[in-house]
Amino acid sequence: MKKQVVPNKGPHLIVHLGNAGKNPEKTRRYARRFADSNIHFWGIDRLGSSKRHNNWTQIKTGFLSGLNRLRDSSVKIISSELALGFFPKFKLTPYVGRVLHASFRKLKPGGKLYLVVTEKIRDSLLPSLQRAGFPTETTEVRFLKTNEYNRTYWTRQCRISEIPLIQIIAEKSM
């Protein structure tokens, strides 16, 4: 296992899983938006290449191995849009369960896991979140609004294909 690493830039670490491979669109966009803040962004995707910039880092690896490089209770936010549970065939796998458990461990108390998933896996994802440690009373579930489909290439494709998307926000208890 690789040594656990956390950037030394500021107290706030935000991690995005499934970061569009060669074009880490979301991580780069947020890093630019918060360039003068005390926030460091990490994008984790097994496609593309590893890169390091002022306030963001792109890691070329799987979600689980990328999360395992971080110290436990070191992350403020973990997000994933259509990367967990989207393939194969809109089904959850044991790997997704392990990623949810790792996400829970890596989040600080009060930290949040933001997921965008298809309606097809919502019902199986909620018990998986609970098994990972996220209490149901701190988990919010809602449909994305039409204007929220413009976030990434994949959410725009779902809008075009008329695939309903669900936002799930799970908070690690204090």
What SS3 string covers 60-91? ECCHHHHHCCCCCCCEEEEEEECCCCCCCCCC
Distance of CA 11 to CAs 2, 34, 55, 75, 77, Å? 22, 14, 12, 9, 12
Q: Has residue 5 been placed in a domain?
A: no
Q: How would you write the pLDDT of the chain (174 residues) with one tens digit per residue?
A: 455 555 544 568 989 898 655 556 666 777 777 777 788 888 888 776 677 777 788 888 889 999 999 999 999 999 998 887 665 455 667 888 999 999 999 999 999 999 998 888 888 889 999 999 999 998 999 999 988 888 777 788 888 888 889 999 999 998
pLDDT at 25: 67
How confident is the model at residue 8, as a pLDDT?
46
Residue 6 in any domain: the answer is no
Residue 3 in any domain: the answer is no
Residues 6+ apart with CB under 8 A from 101: 131, 132, 133
**What is the per-residue pLDDT for 32?**
76
Angle subtended at Cα 125 by Cα 123 and Cα 130, rounded to the nearest 5 degrees:
110
* 16 φ/ψ angles, rounded to the nearest 5 degrees: -120, 125
Task: Give the alpha-carbon dihedral of 155, 159, 163, 166, to 10 degrees.
Answer: 50
Whether residue 7 is contained in a domain is answered as no
Q: Which range marks the domain in which residue 82 is found?
A: 12-171
CATH code, domain with 113: 3.40.50.150
| Rounded Cα–Cα distance for residues 58 and 56 (Å) | 7
* pLDDT value of residue 9: 47
Domain count, the chain: 1
Residue 53: DSSP 8-state:
-
pLDDT value of position 135 = 94
Residue 39: inside a domain, yes or no?
Answer: yes
Query: Looking at the domain assignment, is residue 4 inside a domain?
Result: no
